[in-house]
Structure 1
């Protein structure tokens, strides 16, 4: 989970490991969260599935920045 400050909001990107079968390659579900002063402002559902945790976290932060741009 990685965060950054964006226009006064803390925006978080999450990578949630998805492995249904041990023989399948690992995949990561992406989600995003927006907080201010430790208070939850908004959270996404699953945004998509990615091959790496970094890609998933980036997708979550991208979603959060777009939410701030639209609502902040």
Structure 2
């Protein structure tokens, strides 16, 4: 999980390990969360699947920034 501050909000990018079978390569589901003053503002569902934890976390952060830009 990676967090940042953005325009007065705290945003979080999540990477959720998805390993469907032992022989399959690891994949990560991405999601994002937005909070302000310690309270939940919005949370995404699964945004997509990525090969690395970093890519998934960044997708969650990108979604959160876009949500704030569209609702601010």
After TM superposition, the score normalised by the length of structure 1 is 0.98
Structure 1 residue 24 corresponds to structure 2 residue 24 = yes
Q: Which runs of 5+ in 2 are unaligned?
A: none
Displaced runs of 4 or more, over 2 A: none
Counting matched residue pairs gives 72
Q: Displacement, 1:11?
A: 0.7
Alignment root-mean-square deviation, CA: 0.4
Q: Which runs of 5+ in 1 are unaligned?
A: none
After TM superposition, the score normalised by the length of structure 2 is 0.98
